[in-house]
Amino acid sequence: MTRIALAGAGAFGIKHLDGLKNIEGVEIVSIISRTLEQAQEVAAKYGAKHASTELADALARDDVDAVILCTPTQMHAAQAIACLEAGKHVQVEIPLADSLADAEAVLAAQKKAGKVAMVGHTRRFNPSHQYVHNKIKAGELNLQQMDVQTYFFRRKNLNALGQPRSWTDHLLWHHAAHTVDLFAYQTGEIVEAHALQGPKHPELGIAMDMSIQLKSVTGAICTLSLSFNNDGPLGTFFRYIGDSGTYIARYDDLVNGKEEAIDVSKVDVSMNGIELQDREFIAAIREGREPNSSVEQVLPCYQILDKLDRQLEG
């Protein structure tokens, strides 16, 4: 039995709890949330015996083996380090941190603790992106370009459920992290990176629009457009342009360049990227191995984000 504590029982935390329900031999032991009322409500729904507003309470428990962190970005690094220092395996939702120094500190803590430390770079696990990855690995597709649109409507600081956020989201350190890591995962090391940003929001203090250009060691390029001003279809849409086909990925779904659906139901044991991510975390703990999307594997992404951040603010 792998015994889990989940911190951050908001919209994304619930997605993890729903995924974990489908994994054999997993027990949800503890729920940590901003309010005790919410923690207790979610704990009752998912059969957890413990609820608290303090992560330290879960870390002190002998019946917690691992922690999944779905807390605000600014807390990720410090909380991940606290989990590792308490002898717990940890999966931290994307992004690992909002600075390179913090990301490096988590890796140092992981190496010292010798525990599984994984980051929720979900695009590595979505069946749509796995399908393309498998084609590239098999030599059936040489990627020439990734064209990515990450569009949200975030002129007010609200979460996916329309509730006020206790923190501010970020186009570069959060949303661009998905694509930067995925592009490197699909094509190899990123050797060039450039960015431009639009005006900063007068209250939120962040750029609401951004453009990023990347080039990999293979010569493939990536063009990423990000916006919090987009009043239209929301989410991230990936167009893969290769020498033997074009694919468009929308989360777990995939179509070809003619918008004809591609069946990805046999790519993995589930069609849910979050569940597949959690399955990898549990499997790595049980098998005593490094997981796909480990802190060490995704660190190059944060090195690129740091480079882009210095470009934008320099």
Assessment of whether the complete model's pTM goes beyond 0.75: yes
Q: What angle do CA 74, 11, 179 make, to 5 degrees?
A: 60
Which two structure tokens, joined as six digits, stand for 304? 């690129």
Cα(59)–Cα(114) distance, rounded to whole angstroms?
Answer: 17
Q: What integer pLDDT is reported at residue 98 of this predicted model? A: 94
Q: What is the CATH code for 2-122+274-291?
A: 3.40.50.720
Segments in the chain forming alpha helices (H): 11-20, 36-46, 55-59, 76-85, 100-113, 127-137, 177-187, 273-287, 295-313
Q: Where in the chain is the domain with CATH 3.30.360.10?
A: 126-267
Q: What integer pLDDT is reported at residue 170 of this predicted model? A: 84
Which two structure tokens, joined as six digits, stand for 213? 């250009």
Q: What integer pLDDT is reported at residue 313 of this predicted model? A: 87
Cα(99)–Cα(229) distance, rounded to whole angstroms?
Answer: 24
Q: What integer pLDDT is reported at residue 159 of this predicted model? A: 61
How many Å separate Cα 122 from the centre of its chain? 5
Q: Where in the chain is the domain with CATH 3.40.50.720?
A: 2-122+274-291
Residues (pLDDT < 70) of the chain are 156-168
Q: What integer pLDDT is reported at residue 158 of this predicted model? A: 64
Written out in words, the top-level CATH class of the domain with range 126-267 is alpha beta
